[in-house]
């Protein structure tokens, strides 16, 4: 049984006050708060179990290596990957996508080859492909979303031509909460021999993920949005694609032998992990994913669906509020604007009431341009938020309306 009050009690920061008001944290889309189990795991790792991994033969190094390497199985289980060797640790989604750009795309794409992107993408799933456009003459093909923010999978499939080598789309928009039917897209791409990268930064937080069922080649996640430490992350890379990749960064840990004249590389996944990694961050991410699996991602999804429906209705009742994106089945992420008030000013007023939201372009400028806005305010909900907090957001927005209206 999903008990939101029990979950809230696991997150110490949620009981603090901000500006003399109870904290209403609606910025989990940027970064989620951490449960006590993660905080304790970080403290324990540093105070009792810390050493560098993979390198030593002493007790603590072996212990830290076991704890760190064990997280690969945890991530594989969380994503339902076929094998833990298909999991590469990163510092987050941004590094994961850059890894694919440098290690796979730069090796396998020729001038004139195409990458299909949607207008919903975060800059992390745009800028690395722009590098290929600048450096290798790769062509970026964009697919627009509909007025309600939804992305028609058929439009993405129709954009796949004979020169398309990669489709890179998000599973959930960080601006509108739109969910994308990535399975239909990936299965169509697989039939055409086109590789697929699904940005799981938001999607993995809000419901169960099965990368084998989706049928994607690359699926990056970011630990700090999954209630784990910042600087942690992972990417699922299907074994067949690993065989097509060269290493991204060079250094310690990713080699087999080094002589003055030649270098041979370790087998994946270590081949793609150079240097001392985020040891404690990764261990903390493993604890966060175990915590989520104990709660059950289906339960998280069911609870958040109710919260999203409640928030949608309440926000729609504010007829002076312009909510961006109303696609059916969207997640609990709401971007909005208000006539006569800049999003930064709205967020400042909300903050005075203890309501933390984000304002700006949310690293999604092409989407902002498509929506015809320069910035929005974004309230992004997580499994620890409540309907009372939706009410507090609405009250604070009504105050804004009085203030600026
Ligand atoms: C959809 C999406 N993709 C990618 C990222 C980048 O994640 P990170 O900054 O953790 O690498 C984010 C973060 O906001 C995101 O929301």
Do 281 and 326 lie in a common domain?
no
Do 204 and 276 lie in a common domain?
yes
Q: Distance between CA 338 and CA 340 in Å, rounded?
A: 6
Do 280 and 342 lie in a common domain?
no
CATH of the domain at 349: 3.90.1150.10
Task: State the pLDDT at residue 64.
Answer: 97
Residue 102: how many CA atoms within 13 Å on its side-chain side?
11
Do 8 and 130 lie in a common domain?
no
Do 93 and 155 lie in a common domain?
yes
Evaluated on CA atoms 199, 205, 208, 210, the torsion sign reads positive
Do 242 and 136 lie in a common domain?
yes
pLDDT at 215 over 80: yes
Of 238, 271, 294, the domain-final residue? 294
Ligand 1 center to 230 CA (angstroms): 12
Do 273 and 392 lie in a common domain?
no
Domain limits for position 320: 4-30+296-404
Ligand 1 pocket, residue 28 CB under 6 Å: no
Site to probe by mutation for ligand 1, drawn from 93, 220, 358, 364 as the one with most ligand atoms within 8 Å of Cβ, is 93
The per-residue pLDDT for range 66-104, each reduced to its tens digit, is: 999 999 999 999 999 999 999 999 999 999 999 999 999
The per-residue pLDDT for range 165-213, each reduced to its tens digit, is: 999 999 999 999 999 999 999 999 999 999 999 999 999 999 999 999 9
Of 247, 267, 294, the domain-final residue? 294
Do 217 and 248 lie in a common domain?
yes
CATH of the domain at 106: 3.40.640.10
Number of structural domains the chain divides into = 2
Q: What percent of the chain has pLDDT over 70?
A: 100
Which distant-in-sequence residues (6+ apart) come within 8 Å of 17 by Cβ? 23, 354
Q: Which atom of ligand 1 is closest in space to residue 31's alpha carbon?
A: 14
Do 303 and 289 lie in a common domain?
no
Of 260, 277, 294, the domain-final residue? 294
- What are the tokens at 210? 């099965």
């Amino acid at each position: 049984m999903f008990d939101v009050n029990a979950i809230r009690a696991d997150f110490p920061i949620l009981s603090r006050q901000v500006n003399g008001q109870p904290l209403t944290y609606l910025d989990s889309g940027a970064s989620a708060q951490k449960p006590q189990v993660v905080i304790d795991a970080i403290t324990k790792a540093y105070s009792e179990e810390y050493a560098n991994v993979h390198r030593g033969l002493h007790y603590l190094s072996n212990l830290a290596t076991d704890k760190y390497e064990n997280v690969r199985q945890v991530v594989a289980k969380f994503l339902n990957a076929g094998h833990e060797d298909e999991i590469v640790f990163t510092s987050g989604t941004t590094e994961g996508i850059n890894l694919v750009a440098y290690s796979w795309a730069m090796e396998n794409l020729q001038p004139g080859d195409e990458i299909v992107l949607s207008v919903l993408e975060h800059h992390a799933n745009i800028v690395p492909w722009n590098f290929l456009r600048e450096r290798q003459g790769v062509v970026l093909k964009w697919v627009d979303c509909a007025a309600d923010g939804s992305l028609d999978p058929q439009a993405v499939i129709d954009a796949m031509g004979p020169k398309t080598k990669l489709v890179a789309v998000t599973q959930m928009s960080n601006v509108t909460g739109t969910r994308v039917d990535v399975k239909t897209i990936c299965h169509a791409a697989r039939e055409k021999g086109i590789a697929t990268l699904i940005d799981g930064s938001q999607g993995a937080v809000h419901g169960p993920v099965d990368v084998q069922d989706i049928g994607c080649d690359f699926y990056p996640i970011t630990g700090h949005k999954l209630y784990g430490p910042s600087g942690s992350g992972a990417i699922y890379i299907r074994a067949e694609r690993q065989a097509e990749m060269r290493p991204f960064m060079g250094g310690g840990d990713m080699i087999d032998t080094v002589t003055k004249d030649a270098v041979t590389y370790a087998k994946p996944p270590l081949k793609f992990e150079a240097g001392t990694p985020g040891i404690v961050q990764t261990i903390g991410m493993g604890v966060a994913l175990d915590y989520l699996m104990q709660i059950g991602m289906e339960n998280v999804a069911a609870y958040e669906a109710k919260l999203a429906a409640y928030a949608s209705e309440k926000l729609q009742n504010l007829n002076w509020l312009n909510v961006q994106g109303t696609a059916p089945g969207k997640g609990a992420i709401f971007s909005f604007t208000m006539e006569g008030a800049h999003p930064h000013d709205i967020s400042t007023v909300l903050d005075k009431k203890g309501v933390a939201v984000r304002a700006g372009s949310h690293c999604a400028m092409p989407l902002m341009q498509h929506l015809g806005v320069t910035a929005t305010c974004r309230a992004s909900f997580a499994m620890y938020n409540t309907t009372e907090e939706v009410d507090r957001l609405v009250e604070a927005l009504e105050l804004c309306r009085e203030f600026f209206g």
